[in-house]
Amino acid sequence: MHAAAPVATAAPVGADTLAGSSPAVRQALDASHQVWLGPLRLDCGVELARFRVAYRTYGTLNVERSNAALVCHALTLDQFVADEHPVTGKPGWWDTLVGPGQPLDPARYFVICANVLGGCMGSTGPLDVDPATGKPYNLSFPVVTIADMVRAQAMLLDHLGIESLFCVVGGSMGGMQVLQWAAAYPKRVFAAIPIATAARHSAQNIAFNEIGRQAILADPGWHGGDYHAHGTLPARGLAVARMIAHITYLSEAALQRKFGRNLQDRTAVGFGFDADFQVESYLRHQGKSFVERFDADSYLYITRAMDYFDLAAEHGGNLANAFKGTPTRFCLMSFTSDWLFPTHESRTVVRALNAVAANVSFVEVETDKGHDAFLLDEPEMYRTLAGFLQGAANARGLKFPA
């Protein structure tokens, strides 16, 4: 697959904007495009005079600039949607969607995926140096929202000379961004595909996020968020946060099918607190590997952004008002075993779209794989995506090479 070579733009004059950051972040940034943009007024009232967006592109923008597809990433993912991750060496996290012969084939579409504002894979976030102090922001970085992330992406598209997107697609937190895009920039989005998501974060999801954040804050290595200056990492807290979150991405059926009560490398329980069970070993591995690629402060900020998301609240408490008069065509998808973003959350959005006579379709995919099903091999999901995208491309008048 063709992925355009990284392009670096000049950083603001002054100190290294990533001083003290991990080698992983620098490696990710080196493997990405990067551009400095600004100013950006955030929902919290703070203005970022300049901020960096790290992103990847796949394919070629057509002459009409009408084939651009924006992929919005979920909580702990990043811009490496369809090529090898420079830190983990793993394949792209959604190469079943973006790739040769896939629904978003780079031979047809110009695919863009950007690390969100507040992230830790190159876009400006708490790891960056505050130009006002010359020191890393850490917890002095302003709190960002999903709407702030989308405004930053819109400025990236302005920089790329893309006035209108063929489609915006994403799952989970990525789906929140899709809904925000459709509400805030309806004339810039021809088709929107929110998957396994909601128009606001539920009390249960806020609760799980808070447990994860408290695990990080309680880690002795956290040092009030200034752990890099102390040469430490809140590794245990971040690992626990990941373990908690990872359970919510799966279903009881998936856990039972994959692990059951099988023991890990032993024939009998050890009558102690080592990982007796395979599921314990699996979660410990998930926690350990996550610490190697993600930043704890970024985790605090991005989970908070999800908690604050409430699209109806931005429109007088009426979700339908967010989409009034929209020209965008929508395809929503949910999964029967997803208890993190259950189907009724998607149906709420569908009802709001129906209330304003929007062009909307909805599919509930039957699966026992839980919330993570949108990242896994689910043939019905990809058949639906392929069909919707082809219909939208026909309506848009896109012409593809034979």
Rounded to a whole number of angstroms, the distance between the first and last alpha carbons of the chain is 17
Q: Would residue 371 show up in a list of annotated catalytic residues for this protein?
A: yes
Half-sphere exposure at residue 65, Cβ-oriented, CA atoms within 13 angstroms: 9
Alpha carbons 202 and 200: distance in angstroms, whole number? 6
Is the peptide bond preceding residue 39 cis, with omega within 30 degrees of 0?
yes
Cα separation of 379 and 361, whole Å? 18
129-130/110-114 β-pairing: unpaired
Q: Which of 32, 346, 371, 372 is catalytic?
A: 371
Following DSSP, what letter does each residue of 265-323 receive, concatenated?
A: S-SS--SSSS--BHHHHHHHHHHHHHHTT--HHHHHHHHHHHHH-BTTGGGTT-GGGGG
List 21, 66, 123, 172, catalytic entry: 172
Instruction: Note if 172 is an active site residue.
Output: yes
Assess whether 338 carries a catalytic annotation: yes
Residues linked to residue 200 through DSSP beta bridges, in sequence order:
310
The pair of structure tokens assigned to 213 is 């954040």
Q: Where are the alpha helices (DSSP H) in 196-276?
A: 203-217, 235-249, 252-258
Amino acid code (one letter) for 194: P
Judged by DSSP in three states, 162 sits in coil
Q: Are 227 and 233 in contact (CB under 8 A)?
A: yes
- Comparing C-alpha atoms, which of 155, 158, 181 is closest to residue 168? 181
Signed CA dihedral, 163, 185, 29, 41: sign only: positive
The Cα–Cα gap between 369 and 249 comes to: 9
- Structural contact between residues 96 and 169, judged by C-beta atoms closer than 8 angstroms: no
What is d(CA 346, CA 368) in angstroms, rounded to the nearest whole number? 18
d(CA 285, CA 304): 25
Inter-residue contact 197 to 175 (CB < 8 Å): yes
The residues annotated with a catalytic role in the active site are: 172, 338, 371
